[in-house]
Homo-oligomer: A and B are copies of this chain.
Amino acid sequence: MNPLTKQVPNVPKNAVKYLNNHQSEAVDRLQQFLTIQSVSTDPAFSQEVRRGAKWVARELNKIGMEVTVYDTAGHPVVLAKTPNQLLAPGAAEAPHVLFYGHYDVQPPDPIDLWTTPPFLPEVRDGAIYARGASDDKGQVCCFLEALRAWTQNNGKLPVPVTVLIEGEEECGSVNLQPFIKKHKENLAADIVVISDTSMWDDQTVTITYGLRGLLYFDVQLHGPSRDLHSGVYGGVLANPATMITRIIGKLFDSENRITIPGFYDDVATLSDQEAAQWEALDFDEHKDCLGPIGVDTPFGEEGYSTLQRRWARPSCDINGIYGGYMGEGAKTVIPSFAGAKVSFRLALNQNANKIAKAFEGWLHLHDTGGCEWKITNHGAADPVGVSSDSPFVAAAQRAIKQSSGKAAVLAKEGATIPVVADFKNVLGLDSLLIGFGLNSDCIHSPDEHFALDRFNLGCRTHALLLSELAKGG
């Protein structure tokens, strides 16, 4: 047991009380953060992304952390360390927490589908609406507010904390891996804590013990040197828009399996035991997954349930497709090029670089009619599984029980946090993935939002997690 909590047992309670009493100030700070248009994937927003980094650095400074903003080949990384004077007696010996989050956000398009502008946050019906409200600015603020509550309350933290907030999560964290390698010693810790995932339902917190990997490509097929009249040229040459559908359309077979040779070779087989655990979870695919998004029909790889498809199986999606005339009405053009955003979610044991090579090879297997590929790899992240049975998970379970009044659910997630694999591979660290989002938060969609009671729950959970980790992490 940590000497701090032995000596001052009411400190965590006071931190929680502080959070409850100062919630409106926390919401104000989050609203300020959400006005920053830190869209990392679009170069037009690069100054706003930098403003995002500066905002985080300033808040960490206010809390008393020692902050450095590092430039990278892409967007800045904010790194903050606990100075000795911020550590409670005995805290230096407690497990060192590395908190990771991201201050960048997805593009707000399609903007006209937002009820209120994506970067003018508005609180309505008990939730804050803005791009990044849930993913991940709101969740980053949960941790920042927990740190603030401890330091405001006691002037000290119960564990050493390093905070790493990056600006490229939404574009593949391309420059973070080299950063982690370079700053390996500076990032030494015992456990990573991340809040960028979802709750099981609005009352039940999930500890996520597995994430899929991600591979994202922009593939363009280039043909004639200019757009052409489809009457004059229709039928005499390869139309890039036609050819890309003919080729990309072959990515799946009739059982909805991905046709790239070797694609499934390394996928980890789901054990009967784990399958049974998932089967026992309170999950109805219609009520809890498809119904709320207006879908009647589950659809995917044959032979698997919806949860298995999401957590244990890889997937491939066309995230965007473009070329030729995309406006109202008709234009009889043969476009000089067409493109598609093609991404893969990778299941446990798949290797992102290996699949990337296989996909590029597969593209070149097909007759393009003389058109040429222009292939851009927008980032690769390996899938990751973390231990679901460790003292850190036990500490998290205790904190969650106290903050929410309910036991946590242990589950996997279909999404990707690219850096989790790097923490494992480079730093040798497991990650505690404790998120406060919901699938209905519309992350990556118009009207993204984050309920204020979940924001407060996140703040309280992190405040309690710090003391639970201090106790027995």
Q: Is A227 positioned at the interface, with any CB of B under 8 Å from its CB?
A: yes
Count residues of A near B (Cβ-Cβ below 8 Å).
Answer: 102
A 227-265 to B, binary, CB cutoff 8 A, 1 in contact else 0: 111111111111101101111111110000000000000
CB pair B325–A320 under 8 Å, yes or no, is yes
Chain B residue contacts of A319, Cβ below 8 A: 230, 241, 324-325, 330-335
The answer to whether A64 has its CB under 8 Å from any CB of chain B is no
Decide yes or no: A324 and B341 within 8 Å by CB, A329-B171, A331-B106 being known contacts: yes
Interface positions of A from 309 to 332, Cβ below 8 Å from B: 309-310, 313-332
Residues of A bordering B, CB below 8 Å: 41-44, 106-107, 109-110, 113, 170-172, 198, 212, 214, 216, 218, 223-239, 241-242, 244-252, 285, 289-290, 293-301, 306, 309-310, 313-335, 338, 340-341, 343, 345, 369-370, 378-379, 413-416, 439, 442-446
**When the two chains form the complex, which single residue of B321, B335, B370 contacts A299, counting CB atoms closer than 8 Å?**
B370
Is A229 in contact with B293, judged by CB distance below 8 angstroms? no
Chain B residues in 8 Å Cβ range of A233: 289, 293, 310, 414
- Contact partner, A237, options B43, B223, B299, B338, Cβ 8 Å: B299
Determine how close the nearest CB of chain B comes to the CB of A430; give it in whole angstroms: 20
Are the C-beta atoms of B310 and A235 separated by less than 8 Å?
A: yes
Please judge, given known A-B contacts A236-B310, A249-B250, whether A341 and B345 are in contact too, CB under 8 Å: no
Are the CB atoms of A299 and B236 closer together than 8 Å?
yes
Picked from B106, B228, B370, the residue with its CB within 8 Å of the CB of A444 is B228
CA distance A370 to B310 in the complex (A): 18
Docked-complex contact B370 and A295, CB < 8 angstroms: yes
In the bound complex, do residue B321 and residue A378 qualify as a contact, i.e. CB atoms below 8 Å apart?
A: no
Cα–Cα distance between A227 and B330 once the two chains are bound (Å): 25
User: How far apart sit A173 and B47, CA to CA, in the bound complex (Å)?
Assistant: 48
CA distance in complex: A305, B238 (Å)? 15
Residues of the B chain whose Cβ atoms lie less than 8 Å from the Cβ of A329 = 41-43, 171, 218, 378
A314 to chain B, nearest CB (A): 7
Q: Are B229 and A444 in contact (CB under 8 A)?
A: yes
A290: B residues at CB distance < 8 A: 236-237
Min Cβ gap A337→B in Å is 11
Please name all residues of chain B whose beta carbon is closer than 8 Å to the beta carbon of A225 when the two chains form the complex: 293-295
- Judge whether B239 and A317 touch: CB under 8 Å: yes
Contact, CB under 8 Å: A369 / B297: yes
Asked if A172 contacts B238 (CB within 8 A), the reply is no
- Cβ contact within 8 Å between B331 and A444: yes
Residue pair A226, B293 in contact (C-beta under 8 Å): yes
CB–CB B232/A318 < 8 A: no
